[in-house]
């Protein structure tokens, strides 16, 4: 009887290890659970420190530092191209494709100083995670109430100029692991036009090789983040927003397709891009920023 009990206990200990090793679905759920627990634990540990400062964008540094070790724990290599484009002292809007919660790992590699993401309000109700996000100045919108969300974005247009902030928006508005990008919501582009600030598109290469929530796959891997040259909005008005949105989306989709079809990761450091008043075309046929000397404050 004792031996049987011992065998049972042993099996109970070994079973999760075997499942983790040989069952891809179990492996996937363990890794996703650990990711969420990590975020929750860090938020719980750091929120009291952040609370000392109060609601303040400087607290984003704490959040980002807490997320950074995750890539090492998961064996994920992240390459960043074009980060120097973000070295601009003025406020701006970043638009980025959104595949999964894993985007946080990439986001913390490139997010400039004084930058706040726009997030769905549901995050606010995730206990200490919501508290940590609120304390870091993250802007929340209710996607079900377009009017309210537009009001929040309009207020943000004033705030970013007044307080010299950058805003990070996922214009697809939801996570998307399809082969392309969803149609873009227009809030980010209205925001940039209202504030008359440039837009920086950021493209994260597909995770297909190592992560898929549909196939329950989560292995070590590599992805690349490309920061594209800025697109000016100076002189544009709300009537230009639909075209601006489509032009930026097309540029990002083209870059995403190139990243998808070229697994060797030998992309040029610069890509020919759409003309913008803030970029000039060099003799090499590549669009370059006019101002690359500014540094993040």
Ligand X SMILES: CCCCC/C=C\C/C=C\CCCCCCCC(=O)SCCNC(=O)CCNC(=O)[C@H](O)C(C)(C)COP(=O)(O)OP(=O)(O)OC[C@H]1O[C@@H](n2cnc3c(N)ncnc32)[C@H](O)[C@@H]1OP(=O)(O)O
Ligand Y SMILES: CCCCCCCC/C=C\CCCCCCCC(=O)OC[C@@H](O)COP(=O)(O)O
The interface partner of residue 36, options being ligand Y, ligand X, none and the CB cut-off 5 to 8 Å by kind, is ligand Y
User: Could you give the maximum distance between any two Cα atoms of the chain, in Å?
Assistant: 83
**Site string (11-40) toward ligand X, x via CB under 6 A:** ----------------------------x-
Radius of gyration of the chain (CA): 21
Q: Is 178 in the site for ligand Y (CB under 6 A)?
A: no
Strand 115-120 and strand 166-169: pairing? parallel
Pick from 106, 112, 117, 201 the residue near ligand X by CB under 6 A: 117
Nearer to ligand Y, 127 or 282 (CB): 127
**Total residues at the site for ligand X (CB under 6 A)?**
36
C-beta of 146: minimal distance to ligand X in Å?
A: 4
The interface partner of residue 187, options being ligand X, ligand Y, none and the CB cut-off 5 to 8 Å by kind, is ligand X
C-beta of 270: minimal distance to ligand Y in Å?
A: 29
Say if CB 34 and CB 41 are below 8 A apart.
Answer: no
Pick from 68, 113, 120, 121 the residue near ligand Y by CB under 6 A: 120
CA dihedral 125, 131, 137, 143 (to 10 degrees): 0
The three state secondary structure string of 253-294 is HHHHHHHHHCCCCCCCCCCCCCCCCCEEECCCCCEEECCCCC
CA dihedral 70, 75, 80, 83 (to 10 degrees): 20
The residue among 46, 87, 50, 93 whose CA lies nearest residue 67 is: 46
Q: Is 188 in the site for ligand X (CB under 6 A)?
A: yes
Nearer to ligand Y, 225 or 279 (CB): 225
Return the DSSP state at 101. Answer: T
Q: Is 288 in the site for ligand X (CB under 6 A)?
A: no
Chain residues in the site for ligand X (CB under 6 A): 39, 42-43, 46, 63, 66-67, 98, 104, 117-120, 129, 132-133, 138, 141, 143, 146, 149-150, 153-154, 169-171, 173, 185-188, 190-191, 241-242
């Amino acid at each position: 009887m004792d031996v049987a009990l011992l065998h049972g206990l042993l099996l109970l200990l070994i079973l999760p290890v075997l499942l983790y090793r040989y069952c891809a679905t179990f492996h996937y759920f363990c890794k996703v659970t650990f990711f969420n627990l990590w975020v929750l634990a860090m938020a719980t540990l750091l929120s009291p420190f952040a609370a000392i400062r109060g609601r303040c964008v400087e607290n984003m540094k704490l959040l980002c530092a807490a997320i950074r070790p995750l890539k090492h724990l998961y064996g994920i290599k992240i390459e960043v191209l074009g980060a120097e484009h973000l070295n601009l002292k003025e406020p701006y809007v970043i638009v980025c494709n959104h595949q999964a919660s894993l985007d946080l790992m990439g986001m913390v590699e490139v997010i400039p100083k004084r930058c706040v993401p726009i997030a769905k309000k549901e995050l606010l109700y995730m206990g200490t995670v919501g508290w940590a996000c609120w304390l870091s100045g993250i802007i929340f919108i209710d996607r079900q109430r377009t009017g309210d969300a537009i009001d929040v974005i309009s207020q943000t247009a004033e705030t970013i100029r007044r307080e010299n902030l950058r805003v990070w928006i996922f214009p697809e508005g939801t996570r998307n692991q399809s082969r392309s990008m969803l149609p873009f919501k227009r809030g980010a582009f209205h925001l940039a036009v209202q504030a008359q600030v440039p837009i920086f598109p950021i493209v994260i290469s597909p995770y297909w090789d190592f992560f898929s929530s549909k196939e329950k796959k989560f292995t070590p891997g590599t992805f690349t983040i490309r920061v594209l040259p800025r697109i000016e909005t100076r002189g544009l008005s709300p009537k230009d927003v639909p075209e601006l949105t489509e032009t930026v989306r097309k540029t990002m989709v083209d870059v995403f397709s190139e990243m998808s079809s070229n697994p060797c990761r030998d992309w040029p450091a610069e890509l020919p891009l759409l003309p913008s008043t803030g970029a000039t075309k060099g003799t090499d046929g590549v669009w370059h920023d006019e101002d690359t000397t500014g540094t993040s404050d």
